[in-house]
Structure 1
Amino acid sequence: MSMSDGDADPGAGDGSPSDPSTTETSAGGDHSATETADTREWEDANRSLDDHPTGGDDVYASEVEGKQYRGTWYLPLRYEDLDEAPESEEYPDQGTGGSFRVADLPRVPRVGHVVGPSAIMLGASLGSGETLFWPVLTSQFGWTLFWAFLVGILTQFVINTELQRWTLATGESIFRAFARVGTYWPWLFLFGGLISLGWPGWAAGAAQVATVGLGFSGTVEVLGFAVSSWKLIAAALMGVIWLSYQMSSVMYNAVEVFQIGLLFVAIGAALMLVAVTGSWVEFGSIPDAAGSVGTLPESLDIALFLGGLAFAGAGGYLNLSQSLWMREKGYGMGNYQGRVKNPLRGDDPEPIERDGFTFRPTVTNLRRWRGWWKVVQLEHLLTFVVGLLLVAPALMSVAIHYSPGETTDAIQMWLGGIAPMVGPVGTFLVFAILFVALFTTEYAIVESFVRNSADALYESFGREAGWDLPKLFWRLLTAFCLWGLIIIFAFTSPFEGREPFFFLVVGAAMSGIMMWPYTALVLVMNTTRLPEHVQPGWARVAAMWWASGFYGYFSVLLMGTTLVELGFPVFDTAPTILGSNPGGYVLWVGFLLVQGYTVGRSAVGKHQSSNTVPGADEAKGRFS
């Protein structure tokens, strides 16, 4: 929906940028461009402060205003008319980019109004760690590794919300932030993303589940060629994903609606499976595993374990999408940045401004920042973390109860080991959970890879070359889906060996390795390039030190193990560090240098910014 243009400078004063008296406003969602009754209602509500929950302190959004976020919200400003932020301690460091434009931080909506980005992230998690990696790990080792799952979730909670910080404060994507540090960073993560997510293993896995569940095994003749039925199903799923994007003028909206709907099915079915099978009795053994906290079994496959750590949540390249999804949703300063529109729907494009926005550290803006940061954390906690804690332990208990032993292929464990043992209703639920979980993950992976890669290419090269971001997104979407079809039809058979799960393990391990450098980079960036009032607090800095060390440690172990398997025993790495071979010590020294730089640089950045912005404490809240 569109709003009429305001006459005042949208960046001036302490007024709300969503108030027609101070801002040129335009609200989005997938709505008509003509003024509606809802538009008039919104304008009337915002002419008065009586609707604010605080009684008119101009910090929190009214109920009507907050509801605009449910369909994604975009408030275009007259970008060229806004003041440029000076290079001072009160504004973000420009780095290699241009100056930020000054505008007020939007009023703070309620958590229920902005649910979406974390729901998509949860959908990306269901078909990886929560359905495959952790159930197969617990089937082998019981609850002795459950501590690592909990640590992985809490660590990713911190990482994901720190990935959101730059976008909340400036409206810019994380890839634009990386490009301000060095234009090579988006290219490096794009390469890592292709290796980790460039294989449609989840679509192949979902097709395998559907083939077995529906009894469609064998081949089908297509244009005179015998084609495995699972390939046709996998191809159809990729087609459904591509077509779904054409249903909305805003690309993000289609993904959010599909993912939230599928999540309700997956979570409900998982809880029903536990009740039907009686596997809930396995939860009584969790306290007995407390003594294993911090230890790893000797026979543990380090690649599988690192994949599990990366996918105790979404992991790797997927996590970087949090920044872009929140920009699309309209969080904080992302409210002004525009959204990726479907170039085939005929709607007016929305500019993704190059250099983003920042806000003056006035009392009102600082209080709004504190409110926004609370909302961001609660949305991720209540959606992502709670969702994982509902689904993953439920499926782990089923795996422990019905498939204890040395299973290494998760899909075969569910289809060949568990499904035949849980009765008709349980079997149906197993197939439903697997199919929906794998499909939601493939959907999220297509979305994440395309959105991240489009933004990375655009910020590192395409913008200067005059490319159009929505067209780039649509072309990459089409190309990635076609690439998926090529890989699917290149498989010989999903039942020979463990091909689908093999690709998942490779991709997951690469995701875990990728999390090490970007966790360190994000921490350094947030403590040295953001002003004091929007920087992470010391508790979060310490948590990010842990996160960087956590993923760095296991990445070194995996790199050493992989090099040994490739015929280079000199790189053998011991978990205790001592006892490694010479090449292994080189890897450990590299890890310690990176970790030392990360800790030292971020600590110095925090110290140097201390007491540089008057009143910065107004922006601080719990775990800020």
Structure 2
Amino acid sequence: MSGTGGADGESTDVYVSDDEQRSLMSTYTPVAYDNLEPGPATDDSPDPGSGGRFKQLDLPKVPKLRHIVGPSAIMLGASIGSGETLFWPQLVARYGWGLYWLFVAAVCIQFVVNTEIQRWTLATGESIFRAFERVHPVVPLAMLVGGFVSLGWPGWAASAAQIGAEGLALGTYDVGGVQLAGWRLFGIVLMVFIWITYQVTPLMYNVVERLQIVLVSLSIVFTLLLFALVGSVDVLFSIPTSVTEIRRGAPTGSIAVLVGALAYAGAGGYLNLSQSLWIREKGYGMGRYQGRIKNPFAGDDPETVHENGFTFPPDRTNLERWRGWWRVTQLEHLLTFFSGLLVVTTALVVIAVSLAPGTALGAVDMWLVQIAPASGGITTEIIYVTLFLALFTTEYAIVESFVRNSSDIIYELYGREAGWSLPRLFWGLLTVFCGWGVVILLFPIAIDDPFGLLVVGAAMSGLMMWPYIVVVQLVNTVRLPEHTMPGWGRVVAMWFAAAFFGYFSVRLVGTGLASQFGLQVFAVSPGVVGSAAGGYALWIGYALVQLYTIYRVGRAKVAASGTVERARVAGGWFK
């Protein structure tokens, strides 16, 4: 390979030098898109499916890790106020440490799923929703509907407001002759605050990243402080010997909570798909050329977000750059998302197990009614601050994620052809979504139990994950060329991820139909055997989907072997 070695022994053709990094003012590089040559219609380029051809450019040089931190911090913020603060502490405190291994397994699975969601954008610059559209337009549309069902209610804002109002001792207030609880007004203030923050920056993504890093850092600091005050070190050290402990009745009595917790062992559902858009905004890989969403009412002229993405020629330099990009993005997600989740969740679970063993309360009440009063003094106030920060951080990320995902889907399916402006569409959806949250919070009949709304949304998030994990596998193996498709280790890991979430999705659907709608014919048994007739049909459908996915993905991997010269330079078994 041409090029000289840098001071650290790494090729300056592959890695950004310190001098180049200092002069790199933007993660976006504009290109004369219409003048670029299309990628060859060979095995070297991604399969465009029903979409347009990809343009050919070299993959950008690989930056240092510290210069790409951000997307996973937002993802961590979306995670710590959901399963990590509410679902898992309540489940483990109620049912025992036997469920903790499910949390660890789910976090490991979501690490693989999230980084596979990043893969298409790293390789082409396109969002994962554009990849879905290339398969069939109904796929991103289904994600949009599922996203609204799971995130369309301001449950996290309501929960954050409820905790904040308790800590501030807010009462009931008269608003235009209507008596509103203080937590409702506080929740409205939070929604308005989120909307206002987007108005102060030319680049929408930047304010989200910066604010989320601050909120996440504060959440971690207060969690560790709380653990130091009331956490039991003995309980922490007993985890390895307690993971087989499980109390009677779990988890069948709370399957919706369990599926929601599995989805929210991480961000979950619609939120996970945002990783693709956040790394595009940050300029990861070929996303450097794709364009970003600017505030239509502030800053410079908007940038074009191209409809079709890019491909790079698989010469040795580009292949080594791809390996470098893959390594640094994996490390960013591992050190930020994965490590952060394990630390925060384990600390909060230990506190819940120590102070509320066998709790019969919901997650919010467990903290407010059982744990906070028992702690007393400054510790009680720290509990309020910790929970508020975690839940508000999640609500901020949810608004960002829903609006960014939905605007991308709507624009690519309808808006681009109609001549709409993507930045104006983003701003409009942001305004409507925040306004919708305010309206819901204004009506007392709409939300009586914030945690109940979270359970419904979380369960829907879990149901979404099985189908899109399947589609992500198909996109990344059937559509991408050999040098950018996942290695066999990741292929097998994604098969397991689909099987994992598919199993619990069948459990949730069958149990819901039987218990909520009285359709006992769909009752399912955890061990499959003993299910009703409709339950067996659900299990058979699940098995057929899994077998089809394994067949298509495995066949694509075998067919691609040896089609790109020097493809092994790009990575290995778990690339």
Equivalent of residue 505 in structure 1, options 445, 449, 455: 455
Change in CA separation of 1:72 and 1:152 when aligned onto 2, cut-off 3 Å: farther
Partner residue in 1 for 2:334: 381
Q: Which amino acid aligns with 1:520?
A: V
Asked if structure 2 preserves the Cα contact closer than 8 Å seen for 1:184 and 1:460, the reply is no
Alignment of 1:135 onto 2:95? no
Partner residue in 2 for 1:544: 494
Partner residue in 2 for 1:514: 464
Q: 1:53-97, CA deviations, whole angstroms, 9 ceiling, x for partnerless residues?
A: 43544100112434577x861001110111101211000001011
SS in 1 for 2:458: helix
Partner residue in 2 for 1:409: 362
Q: 1:356-413, CA deviations, whole angstroms, 9 ceiling, x for partnerless residues?
A: 1110001000000000000110000000000001100000001001111143411111
Equivalent of residue 527 in structure 1, options 462, 466, 477: 477
Aligned counterparts of 1:59 and 1:284: Cα–Cα separation in 2: 44
Alignment of 1:413-424 (within 5 A): 413-424=366-377
Partner residue in 1 for 2:136: 182
Asked if structure 2 preserves the Cα contact closer than 8 Å seen for 1:72 and 1:328, the reply is no
Q: 1:548-570, CA deviations, whole angstroms, 9 ceiling, x for partnerless residues?
A: 00000000000001101211110
Q: 1:308-359, CA deviations, whole angstroms, 9 ceiling, x for partnerless residues?
A: 1000010000000000000000000000011100001041111111111110
Asked if structure 1 preserves the Cα contact closer than 8 Å seen for 2:487 and 2:573, the reply is no
Partner residue in 2 for 1:20: none
Deviation at 1:52, TM superposition (A): 6.6
Partner residue in 2 for 1:556: 506
Alignment of 1:122-271 (within 5 A): 122-217=76-171, 219-271=172-224
Change in CA separation of 1:67 and 1:271 when aligned onto 2, cut-off 3 Å: farther
Asked if structure 1 preserves the Cα contact closer than 8 Å seen for 2:73 and 2:212, the reply is yes
Deviation at 1:493, TM superposition (A): 8.6
Matched positions, count = 573
Aligned counterparts of 1:310 and 1:177: Cα–Cα separation in 2: 23
Asked if structure 2 preserves the Cα contact closer than 8 Å seen for 1:139 and 1:407, the reply is no
Alignment of 1:394 onto 2:343? no
Aligned counterparts of 1:306 and 1:616: Cα–Cα separation in 2: 39
Deviation at 1:278, TM superposition (A): 3.7
Alignment of 1:51-70 (within 5 A): 53-54=8-9, 56-66=11-21
Deviation at 1:487, TM superposition (A): 1.2
Deviation at 1:227, TM superposition (A): 2.5
Q: Give the root-mean-square deviation of aligned CA atoms.
A: 1.8
Unaligned runs of 5+ in 2: none
**Highest RCO, 1 vs 2 (Cα 8 Å, sep ≥ 6):** 2
Alignment of 1:96 onto 2:24? no
Aligned counterparts of 2:571 and 2:466: Cα–Cα separation in 1: 27
SS in 1 for 2:423: helix
Alignment of 1:313-324 (within 5 A): 313-324=266-277
Aligned counterparts of 2:133 and 2:552: Cα–Cα separation in 1: 19
Deviation at 1:112, TM superposition (A): 1.1
SS in 2 for 1:532: coil
Partner residue in 2 for 1:31: none
Q: 1:425-448, CA deviations, whole angstroms, 9 ceiling, x for partnerless residues?
A: 211111011100110000000000
Asked if structure 2 preserves the Cα contact closer than 8 Å seen for 1:108 and 1:371, the reply is yes
Partner residue in 2 for 1:614: 565
Deviation at 1:49, TM superposition (A): 6.4
SS in 2 for 1:301: helix
Change in CA separation of 1:408 and 1:512 when aligned onto 2, cut-off 3 Å: farther
Asked if structure 2 preserves the Cα contact closer than 8 Å seen for 1:143 and 1:285, the reply is no
Aligned counterparts of 2:68 and 2:278: Cα–Cα separation in 1: 11
Asked if structure 1 preserves the Cα contact closer than 8 Å seen for 2:264 and 2:458, the reply is yes
Residues 233-242 or 424-433, more deviating = 424-433
Asked if structure 1 preserves the Cα contact closer than 8 Å seen for 2:489 and 2:573, the reply is no
TM-score for the superposition, normalised by structure 1: 0.89
Aligned counterparts of 1:283 and 1:267: Cα–Cα separation in 2: 17
TM-score for the superposition, normalised by structure 2: 0.97
Asked if structure 2 preserves the Cα contact closer than 8 Å seen for 1:136 and 1:410, the reply is yes
Q: Which amino acid aligns with 2:20?
A: E
Identity %: 54
Unaligned runs of 5+ in 1: 1-13, 16-47
Partner residue in 2 for 1:597: 548
Change in CA separation of 1:290 and 1:412 when aligned onto 2, cut-off 3 Å: closer
Aligned counterparts of 1:398 and 1:220: Cα–Cα separation in 2: 34
Alignment of 1:355 onto 2:308? yes
